[in-house]
Structure 1
Amino acid sequence: MLATLLISFLALVSHASAATWYFLRYYPASGEKFTSFSGEMAIPTLQKAGVYYLWPGLQPTDNSGVYQNVLDGRSGTWWIGSGWCCSNPNLPWGSGFNTYANEKVTFENKLDSGGSNWVSTLTRQSTGEKVTDSFPLGTKSFNQALFAIELTSVNWDFGPLAFSNVVITSTGTDSSWCNTKPENYNSASVYSISGLRASVSGNTVTCKIDSVILQKPA
């Protein structure tokens, strides 16, 4: 999966991949960086086995990769796991579990207190199953938060992709990015966002969003 994800990731910059992309992207204020990204993903219906990658993720300023929680449909059953794609550094993929339509999976990604590692925790709400992985990505300055659909040789046939109870934090005191519409890549998606609010405490901006839904192709 890692090699395929790298090829797909390059499409964000060079459009070199055959993957079809739909994503929303938030940027923090200039000079700020993201320090956590959490929320819940509602699991859609998987129609068939195929290269479906649905994920929230963070991308750094150097565009060297993407740190993501990937819902993967290749086996014909959804599997979700966390990882860094794909080099610089070259890291093993994290652990994960199967999940099914109409379930919810909670994702939490945060920079640890020491500033050296990012820790990902995924929880399958229907069973309480939980996996936690740590990635040495503290040197990365993440300035892009994405809600993404990445498809190769399959169509958007699974209905809406819905996220809820989203919380994104950044360094700094400028919260204007939270109240700005995200980039809608190539205007490719019909989407809705509700319940958005920002707050600042000390040197931390907290952006809370009740609902982010990628509804269908535009």
Structure 2
Amino acid sequence: MSLISLSQVEAGYGGASILNGVDLELNAGEIGVIVGPNGAGKSTMLKAMFGLVKISQGTVIFDGEDITNLAPENLSRRGIAFVPQENNVFRTLTVHENLEMGAYVRRDDYSALLDRVYDIFPPLKAKRNQPAGELSGGQRQMVAVGRALMIEPRLILLDEPTAGLSPLFMSEIFDRILAINATGVTVAMVEQNARQALAIAHKGFVLAQGRNRFTDSGSALLADPEVAKSFLGG
């Protein structure tokens, strides 16, 4: 049984259709990567899953329940976390305060969970008392993902987690995503660095013009000549 599935989802902004019947299915513990050209609807697909974009047709099912168009705060309580591409940290708050903000729905002692996040992102521990706005782009991304982990999500949605990062930090973020997935967290990720992302993906979804163009394992998509030519730069 799948953990998250989208079936024939249509959605957009201000009456303009961006998604035109997309499908996605991930089982628990899988990494799913959504790739495609600019304007294909990749980020809109994630936002529709998290209730940030109104779905006009189709359904989103999470753990057997229909969550179509539920509010983000309700989805957070069900175990879904979303990390946007931009403006994803509180720049004037310290690293530690940012992580604590992620625990806003908790009413228990989350100190052990904080330690676990620091174990996943060791560079943050030494900078725990530093304002997040003073960190490098890669370290801010670690803070954003770490804060999302504070709800102990079953599913984490990542929108362009390596955007604008150096190759060194890009590789480190992918390594951290693998570490998060190894703890049992299912990952759905939009990425422009398609080759690197598909290399770690259990499933890949190639979108074009708001529709599924290819769906297969990450390795199969990387080996597909048509995918390589049209979407991976040859």
Normalising by structure 2, what TM-score?
0.28
Higher Cα Rg: structure 1 or 2?
Answer: 2
Between Structure 1 and Structure 2, the one with more strand by share is 1
Between Structure 1 and Structure 2, the one with more helix by share is 2
